[in-house]
Structure 1
Amino acid sequence: MEFRVGFGYDVHQLKEGIPFWLGGIKIEHTKGSLGHSDGDALIHAICDALLGAANLGDIGLHFPDTDPTLKGIDSKLLLKKCVELIKKEGYGIGNIDTTICLQKPKVKELIPKMRESLAEVMGIDQSQVSIKATTTEKLGFVGKEKGLAAYAVVLIKKI
């Protein structure tokens, strides 16, 4: 059985007065994640990890921010498409491990909902999706609440 590993990373600016989507769910907060799509940095990191593992490029190649049809798109649709792309190459998801770097809001209590949402979109069991959250102890752009970062590692396997 062939296994492959992929890594994804995404950063988005936080801005007042826009919706905040993270891990496929809408979070109540005064700031939201700025992006061409809905700005869901966690999903974008997972997409990059999946595409990278299957040697299919990155999210910008498949869903460029210059495409007006993608303006404001629900990132769950992008994730679903990435899963279809790796399946077309003969791969299935083994597991996904992610980390969200965010000073505020605290998202620990929301992680089960995120896992449920992401697993449903990808057609996998929640036990295959790990989400962790951390702050940067008020250091850097994350600590100053100017943005957030998300990291993802995936294991895919030939099916």
Structure 2
Amino acid sequence: MSKLRIGLGVDFHQLVPGRDFWLGGVLVPHTQGALGHSDADVLLHAICDAMLGAAALGDIGTHFPDTDNTYKDIDSKILLSRCSELIKAKGYSVVNVDATLCLQAPKIRPYVPQMQEVIAERLGLTVEDVSIKATTTEKLGFVGREEGVVAYANVLLEKQ
């Protein structure tokens, strides 16, 4: 009998001029980018937290603290791969990912297939196992004012 575990991850980053905007491992053209210790890929960070949480392994800050310069400007795809290794070491594999980005701009629909490919490749999934959606906040709050971006992710793990 298989054992299933679900995890929820959420991440927020401020948007500022002069930074690249990485989402789901893809460089998305925009006038602003996310501010953070790493490349600030809010989507991959939320997925990492969901995976770690489902396996009861803490959070991304526990494993890759922003006080450690080893992770300064690190590509979040590396963090996603390392989180995958951590859950595999506990005997789990990812079944699927369902994620939502909250941002006013830019429109990300053209980039979603590439994001799905990047995430699927890193987690040993098919693109059909990776769902990425986006929504605006109808100009409400810090997301609506284009001051920040938020990502939510659910990940289902199965004990092998």
TM over 0.5: yes
- 3-state SS of 2:117 partner: helix
- Counterpart for residue 12 of structure 2: 11
- Counterpart for residue 122 of structure 1: 123
Report runs of 4+ in structure 1 exceeding 4 Å deviation: none
What TM-score, normalized to structure 2?
0.98
- Counterpart for residue 89 of structure 2: 88
What TM-score, normalized to structure 1?
0.99
Aligned-pair Cα RMSD in Å: 0.5
- Counterpart for residue 56 of structure 1: 57
- Counterpart for residue 103 of structure 1: 104
1:139 is aligned to 2:159: no
1:8-61: CA deviation from partner (whole Å, max 9, x where unpaired): 000000000111100000011110011100000000000000000000000000
Give the Cα separation in 1 of the matches to 2:125 and 2:96.
9
1:64-117: CA deviation from partner (whole Å, max 9, x where unpaired): 000011000000000000000000000011111000001000101111111011
Matches within 5 A, 1:19-58: 19-58=20-59
Give the Cα separation in 1 of the matches to 2:30 and 2:18.
9
Structure 2 stretches of 5 or more lacking a match? Answer: none
- 3-state SS of 1:105 partner: coil
Structure 1 stretches of 5 or more lacking a match? Answer: none
Percent identity for Structure 1 against Structure 2: 60
